[in-house]
């Protein structure tokens, strides 16, 4: 049977675009459909605009530090309009880059919603049908609103980049990295931020000592964090949002932002009708080669809800092409993925948390917390953390956790060492770069505890 294409990709985000481009370069005839903007969550509603907002939010602190270092520095008001206009222009530019990547590699694109008609056929929103030997699902995910009375009065991380003006007060509900990052960003931009999280500590799943320090520093920086707290109901009240919480309070906020989870974009795709197996959250279930229960259909990225990070989606897309088009079966490896949380201070992490490692066998923990030179001289109380979790038997470094300004940059390089199987002695043999914060990673001699 002949097909219109060797590969049809649904979704123009990081994973889908990479897979389409690399498959086309391998000689495949490729098409891609995207119903919204090219670049996906990362470029349009996530990493890129968020990081630009992080940069913007850090300047008041830089100016305060400058004064302590002898500069006659002043900072005026933040102009959200000016920043937002430039931000959207940059996102438009990046969308153009993504479109050009596809066009320059001979990928045919359709600005349309696509759904599956059968195991080899895609139906576009204009009614046309396209056939393909292989179909790749890369539709990503979408924020979900909690089931709370009045939830429709709130916004999500999607809308935060499009606010007409910054509110004076904002409540953020959630304790994951999206909630915590935006709490820090908006606090830095001058918004009075309150954060509610139903759990006992923010950043569930990360190293307890590291997330504890982040929580302390967030509060120190002025974020009104309430743990063990959820919203019962919300209502409009005189132009503000009245929020009744489980801690017995009733407060008014200009805006409420929900960062309470994301759901894979699988609704209305015709997947269940075809027999594509989905998980409890609507995620596409795949094997280690990203293949679904239908042999001709594969899935990568957030739609599979495996590890929802942009570089992971890109890796999955590359492994898919290697497996299907280059005849080299390549499983996706989700172990030892370094990642950063762009709170203030940042957290960088790779490998196992102390708690995870403790469950697997005897460990030694090397950790140090201190005031970094730059902040200490400026009179700031900010503390940082450097931490290694080491297997007591093999001496391998199982986890590295950094809470510090620039932790994201540091953890990328630490990730190489951990990935290579470096031992504590390998770290010890490395000469320190002085004076830096990161030198503490190679100068810790005695464990602070064993387990």
Model confidence over 369-391: pLDDT tens digits? 999 999 999 999 899 999 999 99
Is 103 annotated to bind a ligand? Reply is no
Question: What pLDDT is attached to residue 283?
Answer: 98
Instruction: Supply φ then ψ for residue 21, to 5 degrees.
Output: -65, -50
Whether residue 228 sits in one domain with residue 291: no
Whether residue 228 sits in one domain with residue 187: yes
Whether residue 347 sits in one domain with residue 294: no
Confidence of residue 146 (pLDDT cuts 50, 70, 90): very high
Q: Point out the domain boundary residue: 299, 324, 349.
A: 324
Model confidence over 421-434: pLDDT tens digits? 999 999 999 999 99
Is 359 annotated to bind a ligand? Reply is no
Residue 332 lies in a domain: no
Report H helices in 325-367: 354-360
Average pLDDT value for residue range 229-244: 97
Whether residue 343 sits in one domain with residue 282: no
Paired tokens of 25? 């370069």
Question: What pLDDT is attached to residue 171?
Answer: 98
Is 181 annotated to bind a ligand? Reply is yes
3-class state of residue 17 by DSSP: helix
Is 261 annotated to bind a ligand? Reply is yes
Is 179 annotated to bind a ligand? Reply is yes
Beta-strand pair 192-197/384-391: unpaired
Count up the domains in the chain and report the number. 3
3-class state of residue 124 by DSSP: strand
Residue 334 lies in a domain: no
Interacting residues of 144 by C-beta distance below 8 A, sequence separation 6+: 258, 260, 261, 262, 263
Question: What pLDDT is attached to residue 262?
Answer: 96
Whether residue 121 sits in one domain with residue 25: yes
Residue 410 lies in a domain: yes
Q: Point out the domain boundary residue: 260, 288, 313.
A: 260
Whether residue 306 sits in one domain with residue 223: no
CB 261 within 8 A of CB 177: no
Question: What pLDDT is attached to residue 1?
Answer: 80
pLDDT surpasses 90 at 57: yes
Radius of gyration of the chain (CA): 24
Report how far residue 352's alpha carbon sits from residue 391's, in angstroms, rounded to the nearest whole number.
Answer: 11
Is 174 annotated to bind a ligand? Reply is yes
Active site amino acids? 434
**Structural domain span for residue 36:** 5-142+263-324
Is 180 annotated to bind a ligand? Reply is yes
pLDDT surpasses 90 at 12: yes
Whether residue 316 sits in one domain with residue 240: no
Is residue 423 classed exposed, middle or buried when 0-12, 13-18 and 19+ CB atoms within 10 A define those classes?
middle
Q: Nearest 10 degrees: CA dihedral of 314, 316, 321, 323?
A: 160
Question: What pLDDT is attached to residue 443?
Answer: 98
Is 12 annotated to bind a ligand? Reply is no
Q: Point out the domain boundary residue: 324, 351, 367.
A: 324
Longest dimension (CA), the chain: 75
Report how far residue 345's alpha carbon sits from residue 403's, in angstroms, rounded to the nearest whole number.
Answer: 6
Whether residue 163 sits in one domain with residue 312: no
Whether residue 240 sits in one domain with residue 211: yes
Residue 331 lies in a domain: no
pLDDT surpasses 90 at 363: yes
Whether residue 425 sits in one domain with residue 318: no
Whether residue 131 sits in one domain with residue 35: yes
pLDDT surpasses 90 at 397: yes
> What CATH number should be reported for the domain holding residue 173?
3.50.50.60
pLDDT surpasses 90 at 324: yes
Whether residue 179 sits in one domain with residue 281: no
């Amino acid at each position: 049977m002949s097909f219109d294409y060797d590969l049809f990709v649904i979704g123009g985000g990081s994973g889908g675009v990479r897979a389409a481009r690399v498959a086309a370069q391998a000689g495949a005839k490729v098409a891609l459909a995207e119903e919204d903007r090219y670049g996906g969550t990362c470029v349009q509603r996530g990493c890129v605009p968020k990081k630009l907002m992080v940069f913007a939010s850090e300047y008041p602190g830089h100016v305060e530090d400058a004064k302590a270092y002898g500069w006659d520095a002043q900072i005026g008001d933040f102009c959200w309009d000016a920043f937002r206009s430039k931000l959207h222009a940059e996102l438009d530019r990046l969308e153009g880059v993504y479109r050009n990547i596809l066009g320059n590699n001979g990928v045919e694109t359709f600005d349309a919603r696509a759904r599956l008609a059968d195991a080899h056929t895609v139906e576009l929103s204009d009614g046309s049908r396209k056939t393909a030997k292989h179909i790749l699902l890369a539709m990503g995910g979408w924020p979900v609103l909690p089931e709370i009375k009045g939830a429709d009065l709130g916004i999500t991380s999607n809308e935060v980049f499009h606010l007409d003006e910054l509110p004076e007060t904002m409540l953020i509900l959630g304790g994951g990295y999206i909630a915590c990052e935006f709490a820090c960003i908006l606090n830095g931009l001058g918004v009075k931020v309150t954060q509610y999280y139903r759990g006992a500590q923010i950043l569930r799943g990360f190293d307890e000592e590291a997330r504890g320090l982040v929580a302390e520093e967030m509060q120190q920086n002025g974020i009104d964090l309430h743990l063990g707290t959820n919203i019962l109901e919300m209502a409009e009240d005189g132009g503000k949002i009245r929020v009744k919480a489980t801690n017995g309070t009733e407060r008014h906020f200009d805006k409420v932002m929900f960062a309470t989870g994301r759901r894979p974009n699988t609704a209305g795709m015709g997947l269940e009708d075809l027999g594509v197996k989905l998980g409890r959250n609507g995620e596409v279930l795949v094997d280690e080669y990203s293949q679904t229960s239908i042999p001709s259909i594969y899935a990568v990225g957030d739609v599979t809800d495996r590890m929802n990070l942009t570089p992971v989606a890109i890796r999955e897309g590359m492994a898919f092409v290697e497996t299907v088009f280059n005849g080299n079966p390549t499983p996706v490896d989700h172990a030892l993925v370094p990642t950063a949380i762009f709170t203030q201070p940042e957290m960088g992490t790779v490998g196992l948390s102390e708690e995870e490692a403790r469950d697997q066998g005897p460990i030694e923990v090397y950790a140090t917390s201190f005031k970094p030179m730059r902040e200490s001289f400026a009179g700031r109380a900010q503390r940082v953390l450097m931490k290694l979790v080491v297997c007591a038997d093999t001496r391998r470094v199982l986890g590295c956790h950094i809470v510090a300004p620039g932790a994201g940059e540091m953890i990328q390089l630490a990730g190489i060492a951990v990935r290579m199987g470096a031992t504590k002695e390998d770290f010890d043999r490395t000469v320190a770069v002085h004076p830096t914060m990161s030198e503490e990673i190679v100068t810790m001699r005695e464990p602070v505890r064993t387990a």
